[in-house]
Amino acid sequence: MDAQTLLLLRRATYGPTPALLAEAQKLGRRAWLERQLAPHTIRDALAEATLKRFPRVGWSISRVREEYAADFGSWDVMVELTRATIVRAVWSERQLFELMVEFWSNHLNVTCPSGDVWDSRADYDRVIRAHALGRFADLLVAASLHPAMQAYLDNQSSTKDHPNENQGRELLELHTVGVDAGYDESDVRDSARILTGFGTDGSGEATYRTARHWVGPVRVLGFHDTNDSAAGGKEVAVRYLEYLARHESTARQIATKLCRRFVADEPSSSLISRLAATYLAHDTAVVPVLRELFSSKEFNASTGQKLRRPYEDMVATVRVLGLKPDTSGTEGIENLHWMILDMGHSPLSWGPPNGYPDVASAWQSPAGTLLRWNAHLNIAARWWPSTLTGPALATMIPKPRPSNHGSLIDGLSERLLQQRATKAQQVAICEFLSDENATVKPSTPITKDSPAIGWRLPFVVSLLLDTPAFALR
């Protein structure tokens, strides 16, 4: 496979699999991308069947409150949502769609689990999913006025006499124009005033209360309105949100974050400018921006410029080893969740409103590296999780059986990393396999009794997953 297609598969999915590589080889790079940009055309039988084990994720806000009337505030549904998110990342065929759901969930972060959104976070996830490949203007309105966002950023407590500035400020700083857009404290105050009246009612659903809406002229950056009646305050807020979504600074902010996700930790200003222009030219639609990004010379030259974060690393490990969900129940999926929790990167769980960082420096530490390496071995050896299904590890041994250890390591590396092992990696793995009874070299013959294709095979596989090549996004 050509290097550019392989780069696309590593960036636009949670990790290549043999089936994914074959599909891209058959369709071609451009056709494969277009298919991913139209996820409704992709059958997703395994993921959809597995998601049926998490039925509460589909409950409405009122259903959650009804079912947990005796356990008000339960985190059960939020925990189930986190595990369903892992299922989708690992086993969905709609990989680019799932990446964009994660991207927007991070951009418009509402921490999960969190006590204030116990009843609404799953419904908020459905809003993100509905707009993940649509227009940002539509997503911003739906997310900003959703009960989960209203509760998370305390806007439900905001009144005309005491506007709570939290959501008004985060809307500007994080969700749209960014701190460099030139707004000041008066803009923040008016941003908060525009959002007064919105919140949640006694049933947990979104509501607009005219008695709480601040009335009077408002001005934020280039947006202004007479805002002369509480009854019209809802329409003012929608116009304000749509204005922010179409602002040039928002276009640049979204373009920068997309570049940081898919291209490089420090993307070029020229690419950011082109993507921002595309965003504005297509009325905040994200699909044209993604097309422009993935066809850019900057993307094609970005190999080695992004590293997988812990969650992505674990998902990629399960995918490349070909593991499938438990035959029944959810034990293996739950164990994956615990493993990812230990690494500090459980999906949706970032506490502050700014979302998980997406630069390598935020995730590099000796402890984090050791956690990844231990997880690779645990998963490869089926020690933990032990209930996931899938082919035996021995099926990865190339056929016909390699003649020596160097050829074995090369074959496994091509299967796991889509590239041959370096000479240094061959030597290092062979040194690991050596003991006081036998010295193993790349040239040492492989026999039917060689530990490297028997009880030590999980160690060989995990050592390849420990290499920098696997850590690359």
- How far from 212 is each of 151, 157, 395, CA to CA, in Å? 16, 10, 65
In this predicted structure, what is the pLDDT of residue 231? 96
Q: How far, in Å, CA of 312 to CA of 89, rounded?
A: 9
pLDDT of residue 315: 98
pLDDT at residue 396 in the model: 97
The residue assigned the tokens 């995990």 is 462
Q: How many CA atoms lie within 13 A of 419 on its CB side?
A: 15
Model confidence, pTM = 0.97
pLDDT per residue rounded down to tens, the chain (473 residues): 899 999 999 999 999 999 999 999 999 999 999 999 999 999 999 999 999 999 999 999 999 999 999 999 999 999 999 999 999 999 999 999 999 999 999 999 999 999 999 999 999 999 999 999 999 999 999 999 999 999 999 999 999 999 999 999 999 999 999 999 999 999 999 999 999 999 999 899 999 999 999 999 999 999 999 999 999 999 999 999 999 999 999 999 999 999 999 999 999 999 999 999 999 999 999 999 999 999 999 999 999 999 999 999 999 999 999 999 999 999 999 999 999 999 999 999 999 999 999 999 999 999 999 999 999 999 999 999 999 999 999 999 999 999 999 999 999 999 999 999 999 999 999 999 999 889 999 999 999 999 999 999 999 999 999 999 999 99
> Is there a contact between 207 and 200 (Cβ–Cβ < 8 Å)?
yes
Q: How many CB atoms lie within 10 A of CB 378?
A: 18
Tell me the three state secondary structure of residue 218.
Answer: strand
Torsion angle, alpha carbons of 101, 141, 116, 122, to 10: -40
What pLDDT shows up at residue 79? 98
DSSP one-letter code for 171: I
| Phi, psi angle pair for 227, to nearest 5° | 45, 55
pLDDT number for residue 437: 86
Calculate the CA 155 to chain-centre distance.
Answer: 26
- Which among 239, 208, 210 is positioned nearest to 224, based on CA atoms? 239
Please tell me the distance from the alpha carbon of residue 430 to that of residue 444, in angstroms, as a whole number.
Answer: 9
* Token pair 């492989």 in the structure block, residue: 446
pLDDT score for 202: 86
Rounded Cα–Cα distance for residues 320 and 469 (Å): 13
Model pLDDT, residue 102:
98
Our CA angle for 11, 15, 20, nearest 5°, is: 100
Separation between Cα atoms, residue 371 and residue 345, nearest integer Å? 12
DSSP helix/strand/coil, 111: coil
